[in-house]
Amino acid sequence: MPNWVFNSLVVSGEKSELDKMVAQLNQPLVKHFPEHKFENNEIVWVADEQRYDNPVFAFWNIVKPTDLESYYATDVFKGSKNIEPNDGESFMAEFVRSMREDQDWYHWNCRNWGTKWDVCASNGDEYSDTRMEITDDGSVMYHFNTAWSPVGEVLMKLSEQYPTLNFDYEYEEEQGWGGSCTFLGGEDIACGEYDSPMSHRDYKDRDQECICEYGDPENGYEDCPVDTTKYRWDSELEEWLELSDLSDTLVSTNNLQGE
């Protein structure tokens, strides 16, 4: 499974333009990824159809491939034959080439959307991670999760299509790094990034809860407000050790020495 990036997008502007955008992003769509089955110990690919009657938010409805035969190809890593064993240089050369040229779904999606999977809500998915809501001031807010990466590329294209709307985009990867961008007229007019938090102070500066606040100080940081009558910071292990555990270890060691 990938590391997930949690995304939120707030779009503001004239209601008529917002309504057009919402309708476009939620336009029903059909994809035709082949499914595989095993026959006589071999993989056989068969035609299949995936329908999205209420996708809510679909990258496909912003920009979609035109060469569908190549897009639905089953061999997405055919270029791996160009990589020499244990050769980092040929690996990177093939990686760059495939990301720039290959038209299969994986490389096309990464190149045009910034991530390998779409986020459209599937039929029958009662608890989809892709959601839309209208805020108190009439703006449209979307929430969706993407694999490994933020998706500024495709949101920039959406901003080009609706140049009078303001797009405020925020994202955070599950390990804690993230950023924000504001798009207007197909340009990023304000962008910033931040690294994964490395201290209790980092969490507080972001107005977030630190792990030590979940009743688990052992996995906290050195600057966490831990009760030092119960815990001691171990600089080698980089974790808080409960003093009772240290006492038990000392007693056990003394018993061994006394044997």
H helices present in the chain, as ranges: 15-25, 68-71, 88-101, 105-113, 152-161, 200-205, 243-258
Distance of CA 131 to CAs 8, 21, 93, 120, 250, Å?
A: 10, 15, 39, 9, 54
What is the span of the domain harbouring residue 88?
A: 4-194
114 and 237 co-located in one domain: no
CA atoms of 106 and 183, how far apart (whole Å):
26
Mean pLDDT along residues 238-249: 74
CA atoms of 121 and 56, how far apart (whole Å):
6
The more confidently predicted of residues 49 and 139 is: 139
58 and 161 co-located in one domain: yes
Report the number of distinct structural domains present in the chain. 2
Could you report the per-residue pLDDT of 197-236, keeping only the tens digit for each? 899 999 898 888 888 888 778 888 999 999 999 999 999 9
Number of helical (H) and strand (E) elements in the chain, helices listed first: 7, 12
94 and 186 co-located in one domain: yes
146 and 248 co-located in one domain: no
The reply to whether 201 falls in a domain is: no
The more confidently predicted of residues 142 and 85 is: 142
Could you report the per-residue pLDDT of 84-139, keeping only the tens digit for each? 676 677 778 777 777 878 889 999 999 999 999 999 998 888 788 999 999 999 99
Give the domain CATH number at 45.
3.30.70.1270
pLDDT at 144: 97
The more confidently predicted of residues 66 and 1 is: 66
**Tokens linked to 209:** 């809860």
**Tokens linked to 33:** 């990824």
